[in-house]
Amino acid sequence: MSVDTVATAPPRTPSPPRRRRSRARSREERVWGTLRVVTIVVLALVTIVPFLYMLVLSVRPIAEVLLDPGRLWVSPSEFTADTYREVLTSVDDGGQGFLQYMGNSALVATVTVIVTLVASILGAYAVSRLAFRGRGASGALFLVVYLFPPILLAIPLFVLFSQLSLRGNLLALAIVYVAQTVPVAIYMLRNYFATIPVSLEEAALIDGCTRFGVIRRISLPLSMPSLIATGLYVFMIAWNEFLFALLFLVERRDNWTVSLGLSRLSGSIEVPTTVLMAGSVVLTVPIIALFFLAERMLVEGLTSGAEKG
């Protein structure tokens, strides 16, 4: 009895052009991978080293800093927290009063974020969903305000709030920040609302929801990542703003914001550099912490906005 054997064909080797393309692709991937790593390292160093140097200066005695200003580390024997104690202590007790300034900044920034989001949510939804004359050009009109430098708005606002006796008032400063941030917040949210399927909102309207019910139950949960990002952006603007804070609050030191207090430190020759660095750290750390907190919430918002069947 004979057994038929099936001859197996030898494996095919890639043709020379295909082999060359494979080598070129792998070489390109290695080059781009190396460039990506180098870019990340350079950007990390550019971002981290200045903040690290500022942090080191803030916990070193001024005498040691004058002897060796370029050192990027601090020994345990010279570590001191007196600079932060001086920065956070109230002015009546001989400090710089930054704890009160931070409270003022947090109050103004929080009010600005809340009012801006409420106004921009309604405005962005109207621009992205409702039909009206001039809807196509509305996006450009919202950004026209940023073509004008803030100094042009500062003089009429200063005169207006002086006549209304609102100079030195934190509420007046929050109103100015809201007027500044609402246009860009509407522009940011409008683009996100446009990505939400219209069929979801139409189904809710058919089920009996009002337009405000659709916004509350459909649009807002799905747009949570964009709301958090926009709120963080508005908060940073209100926290770091200096020009209008200087114009409206310079006469009331008890209502100063943290950026105004830091400018006083930098403009005084009696304040040591270490105290100035401590004030800069106090100004920066809340924003960094808020950013990392918002980053985690952004990821949660992306997963919680999914449509369930």
The 10s digit of each residue's pLDDT in 189-204 is 887 888 888 888 888 8
* Separation between Cα atoms, residue 281 and residue 102, nearest integer Å: 12
Element (H, E) at 221: helix 220-222
- Minimum mean pLDDT among 30-34, 138-142, 156-160, 261-265: which range? 138-142
What pLDDT shows up at residue 292?
81
* Separation between Cα atoms, residue 89 and residue 225, nearest integer Å: 37
For residue 238 the two structure tokens come to 């209100």
Specify the CATH architecture of the domain 83-304: Orthogonal Bundle (1.10)
What pLDDT shows up at residue 10?
57
Domain boundaries, the chain: 16-80, 83-304
What pLDDT shows up at residue 306?
41
Are the C-beta atoms of 112 and 178 separated by less than 8 Å? yes
pLDDT above 70: residue 73? yes
* Separation between Cα atoms, residue 111 and residue 238, nearest integer Å: 10
